[in-house]
Each structure stands twice: as structure tokens, then as C-alpha cells.
């Protein structure tokens, strides 16, 4: 902290820079160099500690860069620490033969926590998701299991509700729940031609391999999610690209789910389904869409959380993955106004949380999910409660 200059009797002192929750004007301490005589150096420690207190070094927004460590295949463990060295984000993968486990832990800025455990073991999958407040009390819990019984049948359970799935060896599947049967012809939902990544139609005919890929992307889901997919999606579309892409689009009243063959995980599929669910008015297009995520309570809480994050978090490695839910630099993203950008940002948060809450795949989880849970806990809880109504 102290550095002698030219062996003189003077000591060079740089005031530390810390993040603050107090106000924008207090956010950064002046870092100009000050020179003090020897008789003043005894006060430097007190001045340093006062600056720490004033600028709140223990701010929950003051976190480390993500720490990445190898796991297996394309999976990496990731950990983020606060200023005191406590873990606030942790995604850890484990492999025991064919059994894969993913543990996700997030401690949010308000002291609440999220724990999610996913286990994939051959034809069996399970997921437990627990939300707790800062007192450790459970405020939300989700449990899912899925087991493929044979080539034609599977059974899934969501929060104690059982769904029997049959017809998996073909294109027409049946989901049975509470003695009620839903028959779904997935083949009839396939668009016969491909679309470009820019969502333009092509004259390319879908191949048998691509057709099977689209159908299998839905057949492997839980029974309740398959039923919701059938309710919300009119057509499944293959994208003509080698890139990893997924979209939801309403084309003149036809609700389309679009993915490329790079998309192997349930998270992306359910994320796009979340976009479809969020569009209350299926006839709306572009800026005319009517979205659940535009409700006043959700928008207000998000605005507070976003402003706190933008004002207090100074770590670019954390800010970058959050951009998908903030769209602060709206012009570069192609939006005409901040308000229009926020409509899409709210839609993205709803879709991302819908995917996270319901996904049972052990897969590399992108860093934006833990960041969203950590820095926007109140708005993510609102989406969780809405999901409880939907599934």
C-alpha cells in the first residue's frame, strides 16, 4: 500500500476504488495521487478504512471474474466469489460411469439462494429445484423425473403429477394424465421446407434426417411440456444453418418453433417454448405483440433490479452475459428506442427462466443463467410463480 519515493521522507498513497450502493456520485472514489509528510502517515490507515466503509466494499455486486475449471467433454465447472471470498455462483459437473450430475448454486444479492440438481443416468432423468429466502426458508420447489421404459413408452412425473407417454416409436404420440388422453401427430407440425437463419423461407425440402431430428426434439420431453408444446406451437421448422440457433416466430398467425441441428439440449427447446407461451395474443407480430412479461409489476421490479445492477456492478465479465436481459445499448442491438428494447429483454428473461425451471438435461449451462438469478432475484421469482400456473 505504501511506496517510498527516491528514499525521501514522503510516502505516496493512492486512494482505493470500490463499488458502492449509496449513489452514483459516491460510486467511485477519486484515485488521484496524494503526497503526505511523515507526520501524516499515521492517519493513512484510518483514512483507508474510512474509505472502505464509505464505499461499502462488501457490496453484493462486487464479485470476481468467473473461475473456469475442466469437468468432462464440453462441460466446465464455473465459480464466482464475492469480495469476501464466499461462493455466490457455482456450477459443478460430476461423472460416474454413465451417470452425469449437474449441481447449480446461486446466492443472490438479496440473500436468497437457488439450488438445482440434475441427474441423467441412461434412460432416467431427474431434477430438483429449490428456492430459499435469506432466512433459509423454502419459497419454491420443483421436482421432475423422466424414465424411458422401452422404445415406445416413457413416464414422467412433475411435482407428483404423472404423465404416461406412448407412441415414441412413431410420429403420433399419446400423453395420458388423470385418465385424460392427448393424441399428438408431430409429423403434421413439420414445415416441408427450410428457413434461413434470417427467418426467410427457402425452396430446400426438409430431409428425412432433419424431420426425425425435429420430432425427436419433442418426443424426449416430459409429458406436461409435450402437451404445452402442442398447445402453443403450430409448426416446427428446420433452420438452414450450421450455427447453434433457435427461434420462436409468429408468421401471419402461424406460431413457429425453429431450430438448427446443432440444438441438442432441452433448455433451448423449452426456452423457445417460453417465448411462445409469453405471447398472450398469438395474432400479434413484432412491436404489436401482447406479452405477459409486459405486465406492470414485472416491468417495475425489473427496472429497479437493472438500474441497481448497472449502477453498482463494475465487472465487465459479469455485465456481458446480462446484456441479453438488459439491452442497455439498444441502438447497437437494432432497437429504435430503449422502451422497445425492454419489451424484448423482458421476453428474454421470461423465456430463459421458463427453460431453466423445467429443463432436466445435464448440459453446459451458459453463464447468463446464474447471473440472471444472482442479480435479478425478485423478477425471476415472479416468472417462477407464473410457471407454477403453466405446468
Per-residue confidence (pLDDT) for residue 14, from 0 to 100:
33
The reply to whether 184 falls in a domain is no
Q: Do 304 and 391 belong to one domain?
A: yes
Asked if residue 117 and residue 39 are part of one domain, the reply reads no
Task: Confirm whether 302 is domain-assigned.
Answer: yes
Q: What are the pLDDT digits (tens) for 225-252?
A: 999 999 999 999 999 999 999 999 998 8
Owning domain of residue 30: 3-55
* Model pLDDT for residues 139-160, shown as the tens digit of each residue: 999 999 999 999 999 999 999 9
Q: pLDDT at residue 23 above 50?
A: no
In a domain, 197, yes or no: no
What is the reported pTM? 0.83
Pick the more confident residue, 45 or 187: 187
Q: Is residue 329 part of a domain?
A: yes
Q: Are residues 286 and 359 in the same domain?
A: yes
What would the pLDDT profile of 308-365 be if each residue is shown by its tens digit? 999 999 999 999 999 999 987 777 677 888 888 899 999 999 999 999 999 999 987 7
The Cα-based distances of 326 to 227, 308, 340 in angstroms read: 31, 12, 12
Res. 6 pLDDT band, cuts 50 70 90:
very low
Residues 179-194 have a mean pLDDT of 96
User: What is the pLDDT at residue 43?
Assistant: 65
Range with the poorest average pLDDT among 7-16, 106-115, 160-169, 262-271: 7-16
Q: Which of 51-60, 276-285, 345-354 has the lowest mean pLDDT?
A: 51-60
Quick check: helix, strand or coil at residue 5?
coil
Average pLDDT for the chain = 86
Indicate whether 280 pLDDT > 90.
no
Q: What is the mean pLDDT of residues 279-290?
A: 66
Buried b (16+ CB within 10 A) or exposed e, 205-214: ebeeebbebb
Confidence (pLDDT) at 285: 58
- Within this chain, do residues 84 and 12 fall inside the same structural domain, yes or no? no
Q: Would 193 be classed as within a structural domain?
A: no
CB 50 within 8 A of CB 31: no
Q: For residue 153, tell me if it sits in a domain.
A: no
Please indicate, yes or no, whether residues 15 and 141 belong to a single structural domain of this protein. no
Long-range contacts formed by 370-373: CB under 8 A, 24+ apart: 370/78, 370/80, 370/89, 370/91, 370/104, 370/106, 371/89, 371/318, 371/321, 371/322, 372/322, 372/325, 373/106, 373/108, 373/114
pLDDT tens for each residue of 197-214: 998 999 999 999 999 999
383 & 273 share domain: yes
**Could you say which of 33, 55, 77 is where a domain stops?**
55
pLDDT at 16: 33
Instruction: Examine the domain organization and report whether 12 and 127 are in the same domain.
Output: no
One domain, residues 275 and 343: yes
DSSP secondary structure of 74-129: TEEEEEEEBTTS-EEEEEEEEEETTEEEEEEEEE-TTS-EEEEEEEEETTEEEEEE
Query: What crossing angle do the helices spanning 338-358 and 377-390 adopt, rounded to 10°?
Result: 60
Domain presence at residue 70? yes
How far apart are the C-alpha atoms of 56 and 62, rounded to whole Å?
A: 9
Report yes or no on 39 lying in a domain.
yes
Domain identity same for 302 and 390: yes
Kindly state whether residues 50 and 114 are assigned to the same domain. Answer: no
HSE-CB of 13 using CA atoms within 13 angstroms: 17
The grid coordinates of residue 49 equal: 478504512
**Mean pLDDT, to the nearest integer, of 265-276?**
95
81 with 31, same domain: the answer is: no
Same domain, 138 and 71: yes
Which of 29, 55, 81 is the last residue in one of the domains?
55
What was the pLDDT predicted at 252? 86
Domain tally for the chain? 2
**What pLDDT is stored for residue 9 in this prediction?**
32
Q: How confident is the model at residue 47 (pLDDT cuts 50, 70, 90)?
A: low
Q: Is the four-CA dihedral 54, 57, 61, 62 of positive or negative sign?
A: positive
Say yes or no to pLDDT of 26 above 60: no
User: What's the confidence (pLDDT) of residue 340?
Assistant: 86
The pLDDT of residue 298 is above 60: yes
Q: Per-residue pLDDT tens for 77-126? A: 999 999 889 999 999 999 999 999 999 999 999 999 999 999 999 999 99
Q: What is the mean pLDDT of residues 51-69?
A: 77
Amino acid at each position: 500500500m505504501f511506496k517510498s519515493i527516491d528514499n525521501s521522507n514522503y510516502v505516496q498513497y493512492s486512494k482505493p476504488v470500490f463499488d458502492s450502493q449509496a449513489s452514483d456520485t459516491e460510486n467511485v472514489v477519486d484515485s488521484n495521487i496524494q503526497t503526505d509528510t511523515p507526520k501524516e502517515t499515521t492517519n493513512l490507515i484510518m483514512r483507508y478504512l474510512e474509505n472502505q466503509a464509505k464505499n461499502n466494499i462488501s457490496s453484493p455486486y462486487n464479485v470476481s471474474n468467473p473461475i473456469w475449471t475442466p469437468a468432462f467433454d464440453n462441460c466446465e465447472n464455473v465459480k464466482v466469489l464475492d469480495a469476501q471470498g464466499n461462493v455466490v455462483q457455482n456450477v459443478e459437473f460430476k461423472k460416474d460411469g454413465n451417470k452425469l450430475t449437474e449441481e447449480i448454486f446461486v446466492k443472490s444479492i438479496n440473500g436468497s439462494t437457488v439450488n438445482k440438481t440434475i441427474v441423467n443416468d441412461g434412460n432416467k432423468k431427474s431434477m430438483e429445484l429449490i428456492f430459499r429466502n435469506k432466512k433459509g426458508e423454502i419459497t419454491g420447489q420443483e421436482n421432475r423425473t423422466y424414465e424411458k421404459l422401452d422404445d415406445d413408452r416413457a413416464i414422467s412425473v412433475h411435482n407428483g403429477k404423472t404423465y404416461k407417454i406412448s407412441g415414441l416409436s412413431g410420429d403420433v404420440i399419446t400423453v395420458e394424465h388423470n385418465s385424460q388422453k392427448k393424441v399428438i401427430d408431430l409429423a403434421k407440425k413439420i414445415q416441408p421446407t427450410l428457413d434461413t437463419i434470417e427467418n426467410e423461407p427457402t425452396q430446400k425440402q426438409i430431409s428425412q434426417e432433419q424431420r426425425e431430428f425435429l420430432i425427436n426434439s419433442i418426443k424426449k420431453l416430459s409429458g406436461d411440456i409435450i402437451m404445452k408444446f402442442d398447445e402453443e406451437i403450430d409448426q416446427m421448422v428446420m433452420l438452414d444453418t450450421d450455427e447453434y440457433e433457435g427461434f420462436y416466430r409468429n408468421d401471419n398467425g402461424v406460431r413457429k418453433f425453429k431450430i438448427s441441428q446443432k440444438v441438442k439440449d432441452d433448455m433451448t427447446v423449452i426456452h423457445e417454448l417460453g417465448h411462445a407461451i409469453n405471447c398472450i395474443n398469438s395474432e400479434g407480430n413484432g412491436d404489436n405483440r401482447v406479452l405477459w412479461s409486459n405486465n406492470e409489476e414485472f416491468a417495475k421490479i425489473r427496472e429497479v433490479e437493472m438500474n441497481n445492477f448497472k449502477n453498482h456492478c463494475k465487472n465487465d465479465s459479469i455485465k456481458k452475459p446480462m446484456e441479453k436481459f438488459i439491452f442497455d445499448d439498444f441502438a447497437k442491438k437494432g432497437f429504435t428506442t430503449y422502451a422497445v428494447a425492454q419489451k424484448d429483454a423482458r421476453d428474454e428473461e421470461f423465456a430463459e427462466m421458463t427453460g431453466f425451471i423445467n429443463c432436466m438435461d445435464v448440459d453446459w449451462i451458459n453463464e447468463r443463467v446464474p447471473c440472471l438469478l444472482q442479480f435479478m432475484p425478485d423478477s425471476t421469482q415472479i416468472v417462477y410463480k407464473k410457471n407454477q400456473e403453466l405446468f
